[in-house]
Amino acid sequence: MVAASGWIGFFAFRNVEYANDLWWTFTVDGDAPRFLRALVAVTVVGIAFVIYQSLRPVKPVPPMPSAADLADAKRIIKTVRGTDPNLALLGDKHILFNEDRTGFVMYGIQGGSLIAMGDPVAPSDSARAELAWAFRELCDGHDHRVVFYQVLEDNLPLYVDMGLSLQKLGEEAVIRLETFALEGQKRRHLRNAHNRSSREGMTFEFVPAENVPALLGEMKTVSDAWLLEKATREKGFSIGRFDPAYVLHFPCGVVRVHGRMVGFATLWLGGTHEEMSVDIMRHIEDAPHGVMDFLFAETMMWGKANGYKWFSLGLAPLSGLESHPLAPIWHRVARLSSATARTFITSKDCGCINPSSIPNGGPSMWPRAVVSTSPRRCSMWRRWSRGA
């Protein structure tokens, strides 16, 4: 670029005779002297940048987790309450363990940032704090920006003490399974939809993880059909993907119509038997209407019958942002974007349950937050539940 600019400049001023005085000539119409000085300045800056980049230490890229690392991560996941740590088993993120391998941080690398997926995963507050600072030190030592993406409200004081900032991005709905039921006047819409699906021949089956290998072929057929219908591809990092090595870690819920699999969802079960949620949700194009509502309702009833307390419906991006005139401009712009997106996207498009069909009109209230943080910017998700 510099060479091309120099050639154009010398060509444009080819009729100007060179003299040393040109460097010190400052006039309104002295284009040639200005060109010479600018060319030297740009050349010096370019050389300095090249030298800086050449002498700058190369940021090391840590190896991806081995089979032994994933086994240790799975062991640790069974000791914590939440379900999001199961994303470590995707194998697409680096894993930072503490010294005694009783906790870890899973993270990805994007540009100049190390992005941790969720809070540090460990059974105690002190271990989580130790891991958070260890991750901060890793970022600082390699000249990366630190980001914690989707962290819980309980750990906000820790991130504030680390000097990180917060920015809300949305909310997560959580169903209180202890009060979830299909009976009663307020549940009639969900009950009627569930009964209609049953009359159409839909049946639900909970499949333990050890029995999933026998269903992989059917599940892959459904998954491929869903991807083709949605014209999309598998994702990762904060969302599971249909990879047999990953899917085999979890139980799943299957919906059949007259013996044919028409939909399924892989299930995350919290290690302390409190929280459960779904990860991968797929159905075929010609599945009966309401197949995913039926799947969700049956899964929640299974969770209630087996002693689980909470069921996560997942995150709702850009929801719950402040509408006050003095709210940050990010909130106002995001609310406008969210309203526009909802014009084109419905729960049916997403293949998930419609919150309006939940008993009492919505999820139960639970003040649990999810946030992401970084020194300059971050994202914050708040887990709320409404009514139950």
Q: Parallel, antiparallel, or unpaired for β 145-152 and 113-117? A: parallel
Single residue among 163, 191, 223 that ends a domain in this structure: 163
- 298 and 189, same domain (yes or no): yes
In angstroms, the Cα distances linking 343 to 36, 293, 329 are 57, 21, 22
245 in any annotated domain: yes
- 314 and 220, same domain (yes or no): yes
- 159 and 199, same domain (yes or no): no
68 in any annotated domain: no
- 132 and 182, same domain (yes or no): no
354 in any annotated domain: yes
CB crowding 298-314: b at 16 or more within 10 Å, else e: bbbbbbbeeebbbbbbb
CB 368 within 8 Å of CB 152: yes
136 in any annotated domain: yes
- 129 and 210, same domain (yes or no): no
Q: Parallel, antiparallel, or unpaired for β 113-117 and 104-110? A: antiparallel
- 104 and 156, same domain (yes or no): yes
Tokens of 119: 């809070």
375 in any annotated domain: yes
Residue 363 is part of which domain span?
Answer: 172-384
| Model pTM score | 0.77
Instruction: For residue 333, give the amino acid letter.
Output: V
In whole angstroms, give the CA distance from residue 185 to residue 21: 94
62 in any annotated domain: no
Q: How many residues does the chain have?
A: 388
- 278 and 298, same domain (yes or no): yes
In angstroms, the Cα distances linking 307 to 180, 270, 275, 279 are 12, 12, 10, 20
178 in any annotated domain: yes
Q: Parallel, antiparallel, or unpaired for β 168-176 and 380-384? A: parallel
- Report how many domains make up the chain: 3
In whole angstroms, give the CA distance from residue 77 to residue 191: 35
DSSP conformation class of 121: B
In angstroms, the Cα distances linking 355 to 116, 230, 313, 335 are 29, 22, 9, 19
- 286 and 336, same domain (yes or no): yes
Residue labelled with tokens 């087996």: 306
Q: pLDDT tens digits for the chain (388 residues)?
A: 767 776 676 667 667 776 666 666 666 666 777 777 787 788 888 888 888 777 766 667 789 999 999 999 999 999 999 899 999 999 999 999 999 999 999 999 988 889 999 999 999 999 999 999 999 999 888 888 899 988 887 888 998 898 888 877 777 788 889 888 888 877 788 888 889 999 989 999 999 999 999 999 999 999 999 999 999 999 999 899 999 999 999 999 999 999 999 999 999 999 999 999 999 999 999 998 889 989 999 999 999 999 999 998 877 766 667 777 777 776 777 667 666 555 444 443 444 444 444 444 444 433 333 344 444 433 333 333 333 3
